């Protein structure tokens, strides 16, 4: 069965560019972005991983670890890291999982379940679903799932924006409206009655409709 939001993120042990990890132990009390890319030494992936390295300090501020994956070997990751730094201006500063046997990729439904574990036998079809993003909370539950086509590089600024929303709404009984960014107004969730809302938001709210109650972002 494919993973869904709210499921526990499958645990695994794997080799990475920063040594062997047990995933749940590695998460600890942090948030995590687990993402996969189709293949080392490819153009779109090179731009993605370099850009994300440049954003790492923003994820650090949000108590969020980054970890990448492809079905290449750790030694290939290490060699490719030099190209990422040279062409993108940012050195790789988070671990990459080597998954040549496809075990983690299949565990997270990142690749077709019948895909070959032999890198020489891989086809474009084998790679079609492997540009994935998972946001995982400190409770080890999946909070977000995104899957992109091979030809489209991801918007990691958007991943950061969604992380802000998820962390905020995990703490307060609010939701974030379309195109919301950190610091902007939010919406009181429908499950909160007006009586409870008056206690949580004593300054009141704007309500263009009774079910749309807009308040400043809680601290």
Confidence of residue 128 (pLDDT cuts 50, 70, 90): very low
Same domain, 101 and 22: yes
Report whether pLDDT(22) > 70: yes
CB 84 within 8 A of CB 90: yes
Tens of pLDDT, residue by residue over 152-184, are 999 999 999 999 999 999 999 999 999 999 999
Residue range 37-48: mean pLDDT, rounded: 93
Domain that holds residue 121: 13-153
Catalytic residue list? 45
70 contacts 10 by C-beta, under 8 angstroms: no
Residue 159 class from Cβ within 10 Å (0-12 exposed, 13-18 middle, 19+ buried)? buried
Alpha-carbon distance of 153 to 218, in angstroms, equals: 33
pLDDT exceeds 70 at position 112: no
Q: Residue 127's pLDDT band (boundaries 50, 70, 90)? A: low
Residue 161 lies inside a defined structural domain of this protein: no
pLDDT at 101 over 90: no
Q: Strand order in 206-209's β-sheet?
A: 174-175, 186-188, 212-215, 206-209
Identify any residues that bridge with 188 across adjacent strands, giving them in sequence order: 174
- What is the spatial distance between Cα 168 and Cα 115, in angstroms, rounded to a whole number? 38
CATH code, domain carrying 106: 3.40.30.10
142 and 204 co-located in one domain? no
Task: Check whether residue 106 and residue 184 sit in a common domain.
Answer: no
Reported as a single tens digit per residue, the pLDDT across 134-146 is: 999 999 999 999 9
Question: Which residues 6+ apart lie within 8 Å of 195 measured at CB?
Answer: none
Q: Are residues 58 and 108 in the same domain?
A: yes
Asked if the structure places residue 100 within a domain, the reply is: yes
Residues in the chain: 219
Given a cut of 90, is residue 79 above it in pLDDT?
yes
pTM: 0.91
- The answer on pLDDT for 115 being more than 90 is no
Q: Per-residue confidence at 2, pLDDT binned at 50, 70, 90?
A: confident
pLDDT for res 122: 58
Average pLDDT over residues 193-203: 96
Assigned domain for 74 exists: yes
Q: Both tokens of residue 126?
A: 């084998």
């Amino acid at each position: 069965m494919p993973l869904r939001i709210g499921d526990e993120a499958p645990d695994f042990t794997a080799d990475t560019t920063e040594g062997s990890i047990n995933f749940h132990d590695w998460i600890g009390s942090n948030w995590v972005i687990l993402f996969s890319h189709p293949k080392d030494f490819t153009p779109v992936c090179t731009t993605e991983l370099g850009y994300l390295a440049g954003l790492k300090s923003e994820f650090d501020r949000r108590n969020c670890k980054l970890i990448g994956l492809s079905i290449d070997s750790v030694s290939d990751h290490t060699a490719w890291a030099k190209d990422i730094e040279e062409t993108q201006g940012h050195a790789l500063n988070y671990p990459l999982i080597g998954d040549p046997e496809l075990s983690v990729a299949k565990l997270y439904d990142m690749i077709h379940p019948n895909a070959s574990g032999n890198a020489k036998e891989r086809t474009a079809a084998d790679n079609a679903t492997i540009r994935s993003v998972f946001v995982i909370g400190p409770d080890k539950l999946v909070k977000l799932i995104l899957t992109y086509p091979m030809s489209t590089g991801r918007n990691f600024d958007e991943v950061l924006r969604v992380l802000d929303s998820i962390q905020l709404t995990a703490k307060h009984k609010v939701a974030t409206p379309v195109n919301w960014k950190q610091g902007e107004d939010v919406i009181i969730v429908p499950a909160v009655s007006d009586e409870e809302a008056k206690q949580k938001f004593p300054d009141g709210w704007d309500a263009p409709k009774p079910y749309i109650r807009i308040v400043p972002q809680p601290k």
